[in-house]
Amino acid sequence: MEQNFQTSFIPKKPMVEERSVPSRPVGLLTTISVFIFFTVILASGGLYFYKGVLEKNIAKMQNDLELARNRFEPSKITQLQTLDKRLRASSLVLSKHIAVSPIFKALQDTTMKTLRYTKFSYEFGSEKNSKVLVKMSGQAIGYRSIALQSDIFAKNKYFIDPVFSNLSLDDKGSVLFDLEFSVDPSFVDYKQTLLTAEAGS
């Protein structure tokens, strides 16, 4: 009886032993690093896209501005700009301008007929809202006229602290005097004077 031998060249067992590598758990630091990395990539992409959108918007607005500018006459725009500068300059001058005419009007309304003025001067204080100092000289028929006039000026709200001084008699018997008082700057403000005149007309 013949024996059947089955020969095989394929080894039944592996020649090299396979070693299993134990899997390490992913650390928290690695996870955070990967998250930050992808976040930076996404943010960079978003910023790049946003920059492109902004550049397109700026180009569109510049184009719209150029179209709007071309609709107007450049010479007309220059004229309007010059007019605007002049108006601003005149407003500045007007706001600082002083008109003494209200003082004269108040003197005319409150001065007695027995007095007359021979000198008038005024000066401004150094500060912005300081009072206007008025100095005057004049003649009166008797001391009684000066006393009455002093009472009238004391009741006038526009004249602050009126003082008669240097009283003396001239060769004709008239009383010579100096008068000094202050005026609030709002009373001699030219702009306010114009507004008052417009309201009265």
Q: Is 164 exposed, middle or buried (0-12, 13-18, 19+ CB in 10 A)?
A: buried
Output the pLDDT for position 71.
74
Amino acid identity, residue 107? L
Output the pLDDT for position 176.
92
Output the pLDDT for position 128.
58
Q: Which sequence spans correspond to the domains of the chain?
A: 101-200
Output the pLDDT for position 148.
92
Mean pLDDT by 10 residues, the chain (201 residues): 55 58 68 88 90 91 83 77 85 69 86 91 72 90 90 87 90 90 79 62 57
- In CATH terms, the fold of domain 101-200 is Alpha-Beta Plaits (3.30.70)
**Which segments within 78-195 are labelled E, that is strand?**
115-124, 132-140, 159-169, 175-183
- The Cβ-side half-sphere exposure at 40, using a 13 Å CA radius, reads 6
Output the pLDDT for position 171.
86
Torsion of CA 75, 77, 79, 82, to 10 degrees: -140
The Cα 122–Cα 144 span in angstroms is 26
**Cβ pair 152, 160 in contact under 8 A:** no
**Cβ pair 156, 105 in contact under 8 A:** no
How many residues comprise the chain?
Answer: 201
The Cα 169–Cα 189 span in angstroms is 37
